[in-house]
Chains A and B, each alone.
Chain A
Amino acid sequence: MLRLEKLVKTYKTGDQALKAVDLDIPEGQVLALIGPSGAGKSTLIRCINRLVEPTSGKVYLGDVELTGLSTGALRRERRRMGMIFQEYALVERLSVMENVLSGRLGYVGFWRSFLRRFPQSDVDEAFRLLDRVGLAHMADKRADELSGGQRQRVGICRALIQNPAVLLVDEPTASLDPKTSRQIMRLICELCKERGLAAIINIHDVALAQMFVQRVIGLRFGAVEFDGPPEGLTPDVLTTIYGEEDWEATIEAVDDDDDNDLEVAAL
């Protein structure tokens, strides 16, 4: 589905953010990308849809190779990659509906979008998605009136209305409280399952990642250090990814929290 081959990114300053990363994500797989700050998690995600230009290497989305595409062709391929951001990145002064519909910009001509005359099918889909994430009554609110969790839900709708093949998710929970973080992670994973979407989720909360995903990639200094199921994250593995620390507490805490969370969800 999504395949990275020897992806390298060297910034102008000489910092090597990615060192020949190889990665293959099958259809429908939700993958968590963990690693310390500066490990290249954000760079990796942004090199896929070329918000950051990779220095060398190849990215295949299905059969299409992305790094060599012209601007116009890249725009068409970007429609197939929904992106969700850490600080939500909603256009603050636009309404919730406008923010969701902005996910259709790649499909709609300039004047139609400028005059906000989106096709009725797009509007229907926007209402359906807002209803799915529980924000149907908020459609006319301005984005900056919403709480963090609500904003991230709008961000999710914006990514999904693109009808993407893959979701690129950059620290979706970093600005949210623990409970909302779980709800958002659960929502993203549920939606991926419903639609058979593959997803890469950058996340620095190891416990949260273990709770929701099928596969974890550990990144350290721009290289893949770990690739396996969430149960494979032993203290030794975490030490190779993050460095020396007492990891027992973190991993144990996961199980406890998990039970509590299920109770909360049941309520």
Chain B
Amino acid sequence: MPTKNAGDLKLWQRRTQRESLFHWMLWLIGIAIFAYCWQQISASTTWFFVWDAPRIATDIWTRATPPRWEYIAQLGKPVWDTLNIATLGTIFALILAVPIAFLAARNTTPSRFIIRPIALLIIVSTRSINSLIWALLLIAIIGPGVFAGVIAIAIRSIGFCAKLLYEAIEEIDESQVEAIKATGASRWQVMAFGIVPQIMPAFAGIAVFRWDINIRESTVLGLVGAGGIGLQLSASLNVLAWPQVSLILLVILLAVVISEWVSAKVRGAII
């Protein structure tokens, strides 16, 4: 009890004596672990490279500036590929995510003990593996190129979209669904009139949000050979063509800024 009686006064403290002792112990242990880790990390760091870092960084900076502007002519196609990977990947993901979300949501799943766990498993498993790793796997299966990138992005996005969508489905207002049921509507009509209008804003928000993330993810897919601007980036890095690298980074930055702007506009318009 944090209150105790001292004569007529009732004293109140946030924690009892035991609690505050325990609290101090936790802090002590935390600080000890931090100090130990600090020591370990500095022991295994080659400090020469660290002290050298500013000089190397300036060196790369001088080599990378100014960017090689004329190289932009060769970047049009890869940027277009990147955009397509992100967009097509998002569309495929949404097509697959919608039914999975309906199967996973507690209030719409046809079977709570068999189908729902399967849907949840699909969501977790597709979400848990990074798109770069999916791309590596898919390149081995269907060969390098844009298509592998599209599929990698699509698979990675299914879980994300389905999870957010099924949470939206579980949060709908049931009375609206009840009202549609009471008119004698069929199962599919109840879905189209009672549920879909309620989750439309969430769906649109999820779609543009994921598209925005996928633009960023698809820029690196080329590093493993799955098409897009990452391919140019890894080629330039391999030959130490720093002015090209800096131009590519600028282009990626621009693409991401534009995609953020577009998704913010779309979300604003829908919600």
Contact = CB atoms under 8 A, between A and B. Distances in A.
Interface of A: 49, 51, 75-79, 81, 83, 85, 87, 89-94, 98, 102-107, 110, 113-114, 155, 158, 162, 168
Interface of B: 173, 175-176, 178-186, 188-189, 192-194, 197-198, 200-201
Contact of B179 (A79, A85, A93): A85
Contact of A110 (B175, B181, B186, B200): B186
A1 to B, nearest CB: 18
Contacts of B184: 75-79, 105-107, 162
A196 B180 CA distance: 24
A94 B182 contact: no
Given A91-B198, A93-B197, A94-B197, A158 B192 contact: no
Contacts of B194: 91
Contacts of B198: 91-93
Nearest to B197: A93
B175 A91 contact: no
Given A75-B186, A79-B183, 5 more contacts: A87-B175, A98-B193, A102-B185, A103-B183, A106-B184
B197 A105 contact: no
Contacts of A75: 184-186
Nearest to B199: A93
B192 A110 contact: yes
9 contacts: A51-B181, A75-B184, A79-B183, A83-B182, A93-B200, A104-B183, A113-B193, A114-B192, A155-B179
A161 to B, nearest CB: 9
A83 B179 contact: yes
Given A102-B185, A106-B184, A162-B184, A90 B197 contact: no
Given A91-B193, A102-B193, A78 B179 contact: no
Contacts of B178: 51, 85, 89
A92 B173 CA distance: 10
Contacts of A77: 184
Contacts, number: 80
B176 A78 contact: no
B266 to A, nearest CB: 17
Contacts of B173: 92
Contact of A85 (B175, B188, B189): B175
Contact of A49 (B180, B182, B188, B200): B182
Contacts of A162: 183-184
A102 B175 contact: no
A93 B182 CA distance: 19
A92 B192 CA distance: 14
Contacts of A49: 182
A102 B180 contact: yes
B267 to A, nearest CB: 16
Contacts of A90: 176, 179
Contacts of A83: 179, 182-183
Nearest to B198: A93
A102 B192 CA distance: 10
A89 B175 contact: yes
A105 B176 contact: no
B188 A102 contact: no
A106 B173 CA distance: 21
A185 to B, nearest CB: 20
Nearest to A75: B184
Nearest 4 interchain pairs by C-beta = A106-B184, A105-B185, A78-B184, A89-B179
A110 B188 contact: yes
Contacts of A114: 189, 192
B186 A102 contact: no
